[in-house]
Amino acid sequence: GAGAVVLPSLLSADFTRLAEEVRAAEAGGAAGLHLDVMDGRFVPNLTFGPMIVAAVRRLTRLPLDVHLMVERPEALLPAVAQAGADVITVHVEATPHVHRAVQMIRALGCRAGVALNPGTPAVAVEPLLGEVDLILVMSVNPGFGGQAFLPLALDKLRALRAMLPAAGPRPWLEVDGGIDPATAPLAAAAGADLLVAGSAVYNGQAPVGTNLHRLRQALAA
Ligand code: DX5
Ligand code: ZN
């Protein structure tokens, strides 16, 4: 949507310099930080858990947007909330009780998000539209940074936008995967409010602040 903002994903950051990477995002005007928790089961990769979320929490006051790519995430929710997450997002494919997981997240005092894999249709979240603060449309198959943007995410964003009220409070729409200066404006035009960008921000080619500036310029054009 108009005024879409960028959330750097720490997945592509240099973890030997995590504090510098977090501060560079903050100094570069990031709207928040996106943290990818992976369990090696729901997705074919392992990253980090609540300890690292808590460490990042101590480094910044930016909102922390925690994306759980974890089977049966319910057990992890109290620790992630305790670690200082502001938003916790669970995948609809990861538990048969996604409604209960959303209730748990809100009861823990966090904003609740639900995520959709590329193969999952928008209607899968329809019963939850009044219960969630954020809907995350995956524009790659989750597990790794640096993959190509899947255009099917644009139709899904438009379908979700059409399901939501045009005025008044509604969940944020977030898109994650393959966001760069070329795809960011497409996702924003399709209705995304929050754009997650990993390898376009942390790529060792240009400074983090420069990369964030390029994304904002592309969104303003
Ligand atoms: C992928 C993660 C993303 C990842 C995106 O499973 O959910 O947040 O960091 O990386 P890029 O922006 O490089 O596609
Ligand atoms: Zn993510």
User: pLDDT, tens digit, for every residue of 38-74?
Assistant: 999 999 999 999 999 999 999 999 999 999 999 999 9
pTM of the predicted model as reported, rounded to 2 decimal places? 0.98
pLDDT for res 38: 98
Q: 163: burial class by Cβ within 10 Å (0-12, 13-18, 19+)?
A: middle
Per-residue b or e along 62-89, where b marks 16 or more CB atoms closer than 10 Å to that residue's CB: bebbbbbbbeebbebbeebbebbbbbbb
178 is in an annotated binding site: yes
Ligand 1 centroid to 131 CA: how many Å?
25
Q: Is the ipTM of this complex over 0.95?
A: yes
Ligand 2 centroid to 20 CA: how many Å?
20
The mean predicted confidence, pLDDT, of the chain is 98
CB-proximal residues (5 Å) to ion ligand 2: 36, 67, 176
Write the pLDDT tens digit of every residue in 93-123.
999 999 999 999 999 999 999 999 999 999 9
* Residue 1 contacts residue 192 (beta carbons within 8 Å): yes
| CB of residue 9 inside a 6 A radius of ligand 1 | yes
**CATH of 5-220 among 2.40.50.140, 3.40.640.10, 3.30.470.10, 3.20.20.70:** 3.20.20.70
Q: How far is CA 174 from the centre of its chain?
A: 6
pLDDT for res 129: 97
User: Which residues partner with 90 through β-bridges?
Assistant: 68, 114
Ligand 1 centroid to 179 CA: how many Å?
8
User: What is the number of the ligand 1 atom nearest to the C-alpha of 197?
Assistant: 12
67 is in an annotated binding site: yes
